[in-house]
Amino acid sequence: MKCGNGGTSTPALKVRAGRQIEILGEDDVAIESSTRLLAEKLTAERETFLSQWVRTIGEDLQGRLSMAELGRELGELYEAILQALGTGGLDGRGERYGEVRSLLIELSRNRARQGFTPTETARSVFALKEVLEPSLTGDQEGARAYLQFARLLDDLGLLTTEAYVRTREEIISSQAEQLLELSTPVVKLWDGVVGVPLVGTLDSARTQVVMEKLLQTLVDSDSTQAIIDITGVPTVDTQVAQHLLKTVVAARMMGAQCTISGIRPQIAQTIVALGIEFGDIPTNASLADALRQAVAEVAKESENDARGLL
Amino acid sequence: MKDYGASATPAETVQVATSGDVVTARQMVRTLAQRGGLGLVHQTKLVTAASELGRNMLVYGGGGVVRAAALSDAGRSGIYVEFRDEGPGIPDVELALTDGWTSGNGMGLGLSGARRLVDEFDIASGPEGTTVRIVKWAR
Ligand SMILES: Nc1ncnc2c1ncn2[C@@H]1O[C@H](COP(=O)(O)OP(=O)(O)OP(=O)(O)O)[C@@H](O)[C@H]1O
Ligand SMILES: [Mg+2]
């Protein structure tokens, strides 16, 4: 029975498989001839096409990019596309278009950094369609080749948008980091005393930066007193409190004494109602009071040191 | 707690999916509290409670919606805020409301502290999610 079953099903499979191959074959032939036609056209009319392409884009970008620079970029891209076509490929995501893709990614990254829009960037690719259209759409074979090419360029155009967005994201996250650095200045307030005026919301990322900078500055300036001023922190909730406590503990482990200043009355009341206890951490309503105490502490320390020497 | 949700209109809403959204929700509540004539201490307490509940919603409830509105009832005016998530819920609400109890690595003061910071507090939690509703009156 098994044998019989196998015997009846096998030929049917074969026929189906055979048909598929046939269809694929037709497609392949069509793509091959389109690719050949495109390669021929692009080679024969290289100068005309390229200069027209550069001109179209140049008008779009209105002098925000030098024509020499643009000519070089598009020239390289043109050659790479031609080469990929020459090896018989129309699949923009395929192996043959590796060089084209890396050129496009480079181009998109530059455009994103120079402040061009994603549309302007994708247009750099799409414009090549317009350049080729008149000389291809005369006959049926040409029209078919044009369609294939348009599809390829659509795909490559999308690729530029992907690369553009990725670059913008990189730029934004590095700016956010810079901002974080800028917004947490650790300053030396007095001999032996450093201070951090915190402004805005204190999240985990920011706490990390504050903590690292504070500890580094304590070491660099050979200080023993640190003041964290929270006058500019609008909301002190359990998360902020936990972050503050962590920072204080870290400073203590380096042998420094840490004070939290700038606790406004409404914040003090809220902290108490929440149930947060700052334990033995000294707190002060104003930065001035905290500084006065810290300076006194430093003086006491050096007195003790001097006594120790005698 | 009385069902103020329906009478509290027009309500403003913030979808909370990131910690940035918690800040946005907090700002919305602060603006409403200022407009509603709450004193500075009341404002700060309400905003801090919103911060705790908003973050719980994000951390334990996988995000949700914060709805807030000005309220007037029996001659008093205040601010109503509602936090609704569709997370796993709190298995033991009484325990969660105990000072210092946390299932994670927090201080375990958010929920119980928020209750102390406001005038009215109501929590409903089940497997379909958690809803916390609070009111702070202007006095
Ligand atoms: N929306 C929620 N959905 C599910 N579980 C919650 C929710 N809110 C609170 N919980 C549970 O209740 C516990 C107590 O919450 P609470 O806010 O008091 O403390 P915490 O968030 O752990 O720490 P923190 O003091 O930093 O707020 C949480 O650890 C969590 O297990
Ligand atoms: Mg909490």
| Test mutation, A238, A239, A244, A269, chain B, max B CBs within 10 A | A238
Report chain A's mean pLDDT, rounded to a whole number. 86
pLDDT category at A307 given cuts 50, 70, 90 is confident
Q: For A262-270, what is the mean pLDDT?
A: 95
Residues in a beta bridge with A171: none
Does A11 score more than 50 pLDDT? no
Does A10 score more than 70 pLDDT? no
Of A41-45, A61-65, A158-162, the poorest mean pLDDT is in: A61-65
Q: For A1-28, what is the mean pLDDT?
A: 45
Q: How far is A241 from chain B (nearest CA, A)?
A: 9
Cβ of residue A237 closer than 8 Å to a chain B Cβ: yes
Are the beta carbons of A130 and A139 closer than 8 angstroms?
no
**Mode of pairing for the β-strands spanning A257-261 and A225-232:** parallel
Asked if A276 lies within 8 A of B107 by C-beta distance, the reply is yes
Report pLDDT for A2. Answer: 42
Q: Where are the alpha helices (DSSP H) in chain A?
A: 2-44, 46-61, 67-86, 98-114, 118-136, 140-182, 204-220, 238-253, 265-274, 287-309
Residues in a beta bridge with B137: B78
| Domain spans in chain A, listed from the N-terminal domain onward | 22-179, 187-305
What is the token pair recorded at A232? 């500019």
ipTM passes above 0.90: yes
Domain count, chain B: 1
Of A173-187, A198-212, B87-101, the poorest mean pLDDT is in: A173-187
Classify domain A22-179 by CATH architecture: Orthogonal Bundle (1.10)
Q: For B81-106, what is the mean pLDDT?
A: 96
Asked if B107 lies within 8 A of A242 by C-beta distance, the reply is yes
Does domain A187-305 match CATH 3.30.750.24?
A: yes
Q: For A76-104, what is the mean pLDDT?
A: 91
Residues in a beta bridge with B68: B12, B81
Q: For A95-113, what is the mean pLDDT?
A: 92
Does B99 score more than 90 pLDDT? yes
pLDDT category at A75 given cuts 50, 70, 90 is very high
CATH number of the domain at B106, please: 3.30.565.10
**Helices A67-86 and A2-44: crossing angle, nearest 10°?**
140
Report pLDDT for A45. Answer: 93
The atom number, within ligand 1, closest to the CA of B130 reads: 1
Residue B21: domain span: 5-137
Report pLDDT for B81. Answer: 97
Burial A99-134 (b: 16+ CB within 10 A, else e): ebbebbbebbbbbbeeebebebbbbbbbbbbebbee
Which burial class, exposed, middle or buried, applies to B56 when counting CB atoms under 10 A from its CB (0-12, 13-18, 19+)?
buried
Is the alpha carbon torsion for A90, A92, A98, A100 positive or negative?
positive
Question: Tens digits of per-residue pLDDT, B35-51?
Answer: 999 999 999 999 999 99
